[in-house]
A and B are shown apart, each in its own frame.
Chain A
Amino acid sequence: MKILVCMKQVPQKDAPLKLNESGAWIREDVSYEVNEPDAYALEEALRQKEKHSGEVVVITSGPARAQQVLREALAKGADRAIHLEDNAFVGLDALNTARAFASAIKDEKFDLIFTGLQSDDYGYAQTGVVLAELLGWPHATIIMQIEKKDSGIRVKRELEAGHFQFVDMPLPAVLTIQSGINKLRYATLIGIKQAKNKPLRKVAMSEVQSAITGNLQEIERLYVPEKTKNTEFLEGSSAEVAKKLVDKLRNEVRVL
């Protein structure tokens, strides 16, 4: 099985974020990490390759810093990487990101494409499904299990409130992967060494420019959410805070 994994670099979960001068994006001098569901997507691709042999290719878009995500993936066992390298990719909407990816892989023949189910920055949960439509492939979202069958694959979709559903589908297909589908591995020292010699293809914006258009949606402004609750902050030493909390639990919340 030849599997492409779409990965994204996002700000670290606990990184303090600040608005930039435009007021429509964050200041980018923060720490980054791989989008968590994408890490599970990569792990699942590696496990499928170990079972059925084949190749795992990872792809990302973004400035030079985003290469770190690909290097980590190569160190964990991906065979090669594709980097759509340009800062302008960061601001593309889901449709244009998917168009750029589709253009960059037009000479490849994958059996499966994985993405994380959504990103921790935009959170649109769209790129994978859009990519499937652009390629004319079937898709399934929020996947918790993948089993290869003679005629294609059987996947387990997560539905709301603890429900699930198995879906049989033909290949090639796009799957968006849910966090927790597997246990993540760590890169080994040997893996990190080998990663340095694995192929990494860079794709410039100019190479995919003809495939994309202006965004069909624009962020006009970004801001800290307006508070809807009057939050009371309790301060003091741990012992004082504990006493204050118990006072609230007894007199306000009335559960003691």
Chain B
Amino acid sequence: MPDTILVVVEQRECKLNRVSWETLTAGQALAAQTGWVLEAAVLGADVANLANEVAAKKVAKVYAIQSPKLEPYTPDAFSAALKQFIESKQPKLVLMPHTYQVRDFVPKLATAMGRSAISDCIGYKHEGSKLLFTRQMFQGKFVADVSFAGDAPWFVTFQNGAFRGDKVEAGASAAPVENVNVQIADGVIRNKPQEVFKEAKQAVDLTQAEIIVSVGRGIKEQKNIELAKQLAEALGGELAASRPICDSGWLPMDRQIGSSGQTVAPKLYLALGISGAIQHIVGMKGARTIIAINKDSEAPIFEIADYAVVGNLFDIVPPLIEEVKKAKAGG
């Protein structure tokens, strides 16, 4: 029997999370290269419809792993359900998107099975008979190729945006769907989650902005935010920031770009003093043009910048504001 790759897709409120298609794309590519069989699973209280949706893609089989105890999500229930399922099916490789939910339960699941997870991967390599998973380290300054040294099943999570969800291949015909009813004993679930909510209403919708001027730690002090604000105003854009700036209270949380804030894809993203930690990059790498100004020539932000300026933003931004104003005035 050939080995199996199992992709566990993610659903929320009975809708598949978009990033699930990215992981399925990765699974399809891996299956094509290794010759392994690709299967998928979706977990929830009632996920037959979602399983059918996945079954339209190029997969050998889809499992609807169901229990009323899987709703709402808890790490205890998800880990227990997947452990039962994976132990019975013995896939070689288990792939999931690196979402907040997955990172909440995958380390528990892998540990419960005496296995390990390579988390937050951005790609893979198939070298000879060896599989290597590529992940960022040191805040994106380096990448590492990591291999499994222990027994399968091997758990891998892929970063949001690592693969193209719109490239997922459709199947020639619908794949078979199997319902798997898992038993989760009383007392397994210890956490009692309440309703998901949104803090305050977002005052600014940065996703609609065409031009964003964003500040990071390099801005140094709260009073210097004014400089970035002037540049944003001169360009007719919105002001945004990386997480540390909002953590410090220098700008409100609704101005934050990144995995815990907003994801944007403006025409222009001008990054001032932003080093480019992974958590920030995932929120803005879809920008059409990225300009980065940073004093550290090795800052990871330069890896994804179209135009880069290595220098002190306090020297460059004031004349830049003047030049922009001149240009706008028809100079």
Contact = CB atoms under 8 A, between A and B. Distances in A.
Residue from A123, A218, A248 with most neighbouring chain B CB atoms (10 Å): A123
Contacts of A252: 289
Nearest to A120: B139
Interface stretch (A54-62, A158-166, A197-205): A158-166
A233 B108 contact: no
A11 B327 contact: no
B309 A142 contact: no
Interface in A169-213: 169-170, 178-180
A95 B254 CA distance: 36
Interface in B62-82: 75-76, 79
Size band of the interface chain B makes with A: 35 or more
Given A130-B111, A227-B303, A245 B320 contact: yes
A88 interface: no
Given A167-B191, A219-B144, A95 B320 contact: no
B132 interface: yes
A1 interface: no
B190 A169 contact: yes
A211 B244 CA distance: 37
A167 B196 contact: no
Interface string B242-285: 01101100000110000111110001100000010010000000
B302 interface: yes
Contact of B190 (A19, A170, A180, A235): A170
B288 to A, nearest CB: 8
A9 interface: no
A15 B319 CA distance: 29
Contact of A125 (B76, B103, B111): B103
A160 B120 contact: no
Interface stretch (B43-51, B147-155, B219-227): B147-155
B194 A246 contact: no
A50 interface: no
B315 interface: yes
Given A160-B259, A162-B198, A252-B289, A179 B136 contact: no
A169 B217 CA distance: 35
Contacts of A243: 323
Question: Which residue, of B118, B194, B278, has the highest number of chain A Cβ atoms within 10 A?
Answer: B194
Tell me if B's interface is mostly helix, strand, loop or mixed: mixed
A246 B304 CA distance: 20
Contact of A255 (B211, B296, B308, B310): B211
Contacts of A255: 210-211, 235, 267-268
A238 B316 contact: yes
Contacts of A22: none
A180 B258 CA distance: 14
B305 A234 contact: no
Interface in A216-256: 216-225, 227-235, 238-239, 241-243, 245-246, 248-250, 252-253, 255-256
B141 to A, nearest CB: 6
A134 B320 CA distance: 55
A195 to B, nearest CB: 26
Given A123-B120, A216-B149, A26 B103 contact: no
16 contacts: A130-B111, A138-B191, A162-B198, A162-B253, A163-B196, A163-B198, A164-B197, A169-B192, A178-B260, A217-B146, A222-B144, A231-B307, A233-B309, A241-B311, A246-B326, A249-B235
Given A17-B138, A245-B309, 13 more contacts: A14-B275, A17-B142, A123-B120, A133-B79, A159-B100, A216-B148, A223-B144, A231-B305, A232-B308, A241-B316, A242-B319, A249-B235, A252-B289
Interface of B: 75-76, 79, 99-101, 103-108, 110-112, 115-120, 132, 135-150, 190-199, 202, 210-211, 217, 235, 243-244, 246-247, 253-254, 259-263, 267-268, 275, 278, 288-289, 291, 296, 298, 300, 302-311, 315-316, 318-320, 322-324, 326-328
Interface of A: 11, 13-14, 16-17, 19, 24, 26, 93-95, 98, 120-127, 129-130, 132-134, 138-142, 158-170, 178-180, 214-225, 227-235, 238-239, 241-243, 245-246, 248-250, 252-253, 255-256
